[in-house]
């Protein structure tokens, strides 16, 4: 219903759809449907979370008497029926309050996320900037020089470092060389600008490889397209052919790769955080579920789901902007 | 090596008699070195095109027609290489000039119309942008000058409401309209030569007729020299002045179109003509064919390349390559045992 449609050929298509009101109402429709998806996702996760055996305090306070345990449960509202607990959670959410994390009862979930997520966002944002720009560049160079030693070298290095080796292995290697042996950069931790360098490098390798491979493949494909040959037959310069004919079309499919990749990066990685001792969001994903930290789990689910939804909306919009053959559908009626 | 080039030029006695030819291809050779073998796609092709003349190049798929056209503008796809010969245009050998110089010939002095109009326009830029880039590149026109000229050009190729069409993208146009746009782009800088490589294969029959009529008008109107590559002898009969019949990268026979259809002399030409389906096919409900497939030439050796499929083959055909030689003014032939039998000719010529 709200899908993008690739237009067929034919002169009978409606007028162009770049108008602002069309885009706005499209956006509104997509956001509403995202809210519905979020509702479903939270109901699902809430139900699953409560149906798993074991409770939040089963390990840490296991020796307590039944009465004491009941008091703790009652304090966090866990003695009420599950549907009631969900409604309570929604009620809190509407007021912008995410609850108290069971593991750190002196804080709120809001506070926890507000401290941890910015770190993850800085690392993630830099990672996206570095890996995408470098990946694109290397991919285009490899495609232009395809089947030469330049291409082989780029492909070999990128695949080995980015895809074959896990990023924490590279992370330890980077620490060993640049922090321990050379002493140029800190071993880990968070505080000074120098702290971002090694984690960003280690974290960038996989998305860089991803972008390089896809850019190379799609650029190579377009290089042999009929319209590129015709552009050359009209005497256009090599530069113009590369930018206006090859790259302008070959880079469009990369939006599809970025769509799900960006939310992945922006929610952090437990491996990178553990390797470099970063107090980011990534480690909470594992810890929260291990400790049945219900409020924290719910908050993280919400963040991930909203981020994915937003990224998909943005990538669909981006398609409609950069490719004239694609137009937004679902509101023409 | 073969020596079928000597004195084998297609005579200027054809249509554009007298004046020097616009475009002259001499002994062109193109080879594709592949990993294990080399394909010799064009072997000593020679022809000329005069102003106002439409030269048809016919042959089966794989006979080297398209590669020949591409090599005129030095656009043979990788790993193909021009290994010999000359392409003379305005007193220069296009095969020898620098890259920058050939780029200013492409699209400006020589226009090209491709096989598949559906995929030959850039999908992400407007029709106007196509015109703007070529007009500014070759003629230095400004944005507004280019727009005026583009409207004029689109009108001249029969696109209705051209000013409106300029803002469209290619996917909104029909196949015939796209081919018209491509033709308008090809003639935008008033070229002297137009090369059309099977310009109507991808279009349906009524559109084919319209496009070819446009092609005729443009050639006559601007006194262009035109090369029309096709495998359709019906198109040749109606839209060409002279014909080159190619087989396995060589010229088998060349003649003014009327002469070729009246007295085809090469067994291959006769075979091709016999294959044209006729409405009043009286004998059997079977299409005539030439048995076998055109060879992919991977080794150079003497002998007529058509010998394995020829019904008039002799020992000499397998041993020696026949040279292209004039048998009548403007009519040249490369064959040891030409068809002279009036009956066979008449049957073939009844197209």
State the complex-level ipTM: 0.84
Query: Tokens at residue A325, please?
Result: 């053959």
DSSP string, B30-44: EEEE-SS-EEEEEEE
Q: Do A325 and B123 touch (CB under 8 A)?
A: yes
Side-chain-facing half-sphere of A31: CA atoms under 13 Å: 6
Dihedral of alpha carbons B92, B95, B96, B102, sign: positive
Q: Which residues of A touch B203 (CB under 8 A)?
A: none
> For chain B, which domains are there?
23-95+230-349 (3.40.50.300)
Dihedral sign from CA coordinates of B7, B323, B234, A234: negative
Query: What pLDDT sits at residue B6?
Result: 38
Chain segment A301-313, per-residue pLDDT in tens: 999 999 999 999 9
* pLDDT for the residue A88: 87
Q: Quick check: B103 and A13 CB within 8 A?
A: no
Sequence-distant (≥ 6) Cβ neighbours of residue A46 within 8 angstroms: A82, A85, A86, A89, A298
Query: Helices then strands (H, E): number in chain A?
Result: 14, 2
Mutation pick from B35, B132, B172 vs chain A, by most beta carbons of A within 10 Å, is B172
CB contact under 8 A, A10 and B118: no
Q: What is the DSSP string of A1-40?
A: ----EEPPS-TT--S----HHHHHHHHHHHHHHHHHHHHH
Rounded average pLDDT over B82-102: 90
User: What is the predicted pLDDT for the residue at B106?
Assistant: 92
Give the per-residue pLDDT at A268: 83
Instruction: Indicate the pLDDT class of residue A240, thresholds 50, 70 and 90.
Output: very high
**pLDDT > 50? residue A3:** no
Residues 70-129 of B with CB under 8 A from A: 73, 75, 77, 103-108, 112, 114, 116, 118-125
Q: Distances from the Cα of A319 to the Cαs of A21, A204, B130, in angstroms?
A: 18, 25, 22
Contacting residues of B for A325, CB less than 8 Å apart = 123-124, 169, 171
The percent of residues above 70 in pLDDT, for chain B, comes to 89
- In the predicted structure, residue B8 carries a pLDDT above the cut 60: no
Query: B15 or A285: whose pLDDT is higher?
Result: A285
Q: For residue A58, give every residue at least 6 positions away whose Cβ sits within 8 Å of its Cβ, in sequence order, or none.
A: A292
Give φ, ψ of B42 to 5 degrees: -130, 130
Architecture, CATH, for domain A18-327:
Orthogonal Bundle (1.10)
CA of B175, closest CA in chain A: separation in Å? 9
**What H or E segment, with its residue span, contains residue A150?**
helix A149-158
Separation between Cα atoms, residue B58 and residue B272, nearest integer Å: 9
Q: Cβ of A226 and B73 within 8 Å?
A: no
Q: How far apart (Å, rounded) are the C-alpha atoms in residues A261 and A255? A: 10
Looking at the partner chain, which of A11, A235, A240 has a beta carbon nearest the beta carbon of B173?
A11
| Tens digit of each residue's pLDDT (9 = 90 or more) over A81-124 | 888 888 888 898 888 888 888 878 888 888 888 888 889 999 99
pLDDT higher than threshold 50 for residue B193:
yes
> What letter does residue A89 receive in the DSSP assignment?
H
Residues of B in contact with A10 (CB under 8 A): 172, 174
Work out the number of other CB atoms within 10 angstroms of the CB of residue A95: 7
User: Cα distance from A325 to chain B (closest Cα, Å)?
Assistant: 7
The two structure tokens encoding residue B145: 């000058």
- Arithmetic mean of pLDDT, A174-185: 85
Interstrand relation of B23-33 and B225-230 (parallel, antiparallel or unpaired): unpaired
* H helical segments located in B119-247: 127-139, 143-156, 162-165, 175-186, 205-222, 233-239
Residue pair B3/B40 in contact (Cβ under 8 Å)? The answer is: no
Domain ranges for chain A: 18-327
């Amino acid at each position: 219903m709200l899908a993008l449609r690739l237009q067929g050929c034919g002169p009978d298509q409606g007028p162009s759809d770049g108008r602002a009101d069309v885009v706005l109402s499209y956006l509104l429709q997509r956001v509403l449907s995202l809210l519905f998806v979020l509702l479903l996702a939270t109901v699902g996760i809430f139900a699953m979370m409560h149906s798993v055996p074991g409770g939040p305090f089963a390990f840490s306070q296991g020796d307590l008497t039944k009465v004491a345990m009941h008091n703790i449960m009652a304090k966090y509202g866990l003695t009420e029926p599950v549907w009631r607990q969900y409604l309570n959670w929604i009620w809190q959410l509407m007021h912008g309050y995410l609850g108290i994390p069971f593991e750190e009862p002196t804080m709120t979930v809001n506070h926890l996320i507000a401290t941890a997520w910015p770190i993850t966002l800085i690392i993630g944002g830099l990672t996206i900037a570095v890996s995408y720009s470098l990946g694109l560049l290397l991919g285009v160079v490899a495609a232009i020089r395809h089947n030469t030693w330049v291409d082989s070298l780029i492909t070999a290095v990128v695949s080995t470092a980015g895809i074959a080796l896990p990023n924490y292995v590279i992370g330890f290697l980077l620490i060993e060389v640049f922090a321990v042996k050379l002493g140029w950069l800190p071993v880990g931790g968070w505080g000074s600008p120098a702290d971002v360098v090694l984690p960003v490098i280690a974290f960038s390798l996989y998305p860089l490889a991803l972008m390089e491979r896809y850019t190379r493949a799609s650029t190579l494909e377009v290089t042999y397209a009929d319209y590129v040959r015709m552009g050359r037959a009209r005497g256009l310069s090599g530069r113009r052919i590369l930018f206006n004919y090859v790259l302008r079309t070959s880079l469009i499919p990369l939006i599809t790769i970025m769509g799900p990749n960006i939310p992945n990066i922006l929610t952090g990685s437990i491996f990178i955080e553990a390797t470099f001792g970063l107090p980011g969001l990534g480690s909470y994903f594992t810890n929260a579920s291990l400790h049945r930290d219900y409020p924290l789990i719910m908050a993280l689910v919400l963040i991930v789901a909203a981020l994915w939804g937003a990224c998909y909306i943005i990538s669909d919009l981006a398609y409609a902007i950069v490719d004239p053959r694609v137009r937004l559908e679902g509101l023409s009626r | 090596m073969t020596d079928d080039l000597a004195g084998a030029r297609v005579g200027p006695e054809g249509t554009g008699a007298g004046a020097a030819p616009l475009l002259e291809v001499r002994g062109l050779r193109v080879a594709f070195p592949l990993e294990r073998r080399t394909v010799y796609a064009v072997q000593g092709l020679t022809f000329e095109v005069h102003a106002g003349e439409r030269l048809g190049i016919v042959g089966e798929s794989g006979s080297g027609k398209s590669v020949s056209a591409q090599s005129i503008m030095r656009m043979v796809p990788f790993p193909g290489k021009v290994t010999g010969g000359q392409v003379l245009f305005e007193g220069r050998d296009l095969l020898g000039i620098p890259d920058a110089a050939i780029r200013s010939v492409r699209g400006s002095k020589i226009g090209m119309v491709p096989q598949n109009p559906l995929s030959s326009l850039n999908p992400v830029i407007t029709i106007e942008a196509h015109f703007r880039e070529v007009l500014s590149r070759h003629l230095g026109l400004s944005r507004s000058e280019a727009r005026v000229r583009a409207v004029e050009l689109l009108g001249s190729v029969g696109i209705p409401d051209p000013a409106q069409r300029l803002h469209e993208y290619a996917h909104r146009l029909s196949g015939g309209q796209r081919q018209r746009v491509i033709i308008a782009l090809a003639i935008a800088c008033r070229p002297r030569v137009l090369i059309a490589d099977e310009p109507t294969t991808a279009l349906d029959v009524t559109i084919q007729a319209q496009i070819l009529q446009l092609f005729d008008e443009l050639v006559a109107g601007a006194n262009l020299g035109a090369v029309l590559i096709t495998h359709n002898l019906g198109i040749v009969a109606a839209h060409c002045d002279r014909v080159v019949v190619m087989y396995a990268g060589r010229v088998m026979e060349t003649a003014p179109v009327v002469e070729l259809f009246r007295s085809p002399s090469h067994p291959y030409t006769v075979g091709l003509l016999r294959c044209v389906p006729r409405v009043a096919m009286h004998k059997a409900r079977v299409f005539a064919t030439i048995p076998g497939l055109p060879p992919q030439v991977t080794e150079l050796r003497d002998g007529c390349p058509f010998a394995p499929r020829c019904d008039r083959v002799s020992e000499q055909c397998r041993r020696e390559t026949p040279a292209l030689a004039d048998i009548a003014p403007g009519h040249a032939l490369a064959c040891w045992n030409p068809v002279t039998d009036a009956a066979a000719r008449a049957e073939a010529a009844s197209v």
